């Protein structure tokens, strides 16, 4: 079984490269993804990748600052710099199932201002 921390790090590193093919084996086909700040919910691994792929550029540079993992759960702190709307930090929480990421929740916060 793949380590949840490795899966999370690999996912965000692939997002940074916009390497969508590399994301496919990381995300469970039945995965769900939530963004509580914007009240968005996405069902299905393919739909999650479609959501990410369609997000307007420029995203900025994503850098994984740290990943903390235990068992089938992992959390990551990610810096996003130089994108639209300034610099952000992302807190991402994922649960793995069957060796793939199954449920993700992301909290985005701007480093300056309110992000709106």
The pTM of the full predicted model, rounded to 2 decimals, is 0.91
* Rg of the Cα atoms in the chain: 13
Residues 43-58 have pLDDT tens digits of 999 999 999 999 877 7
Classify 4-110 by CATH class. alpha beta
Domain definitions of the chain by residue range: 4-110
Give the mean pLDDT of 52-71: 90
Q: Which residue has the higher pLDDT, 84 or 40?
A: 40
In angstroms, rounded to a whole number, what is the distance separating the alpha carbons of residues 92 and 100?
15
pLDDT value at position 44?
97
pLDDT value at position 2?
76
């Amino acid at each position: 079984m793949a380590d949840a921390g490795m899966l999370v790090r690999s996912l965000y590193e692939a997002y940074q490269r916009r390497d969508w093919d590399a994301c496919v084996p990381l995300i469970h086909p039945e995965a769900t993804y939530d963004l509580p700040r914007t009240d968005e919910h996405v069902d299905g691994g393919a739909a999650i990748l479609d959501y990410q792929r369609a997000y307007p550029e420029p995203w900025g540079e994503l850098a994984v600052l740290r990943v903390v993992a235990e068992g089938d759960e992992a959390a990551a702190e990610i810096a996003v710099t130089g994108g639209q709307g300034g610099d952000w930090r992302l807190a991402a929480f994922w649960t793995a199932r069957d060796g793939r990421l199954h449920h993700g929740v992301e909290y985005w916060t701007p480093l300056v201002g309110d992000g709106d």
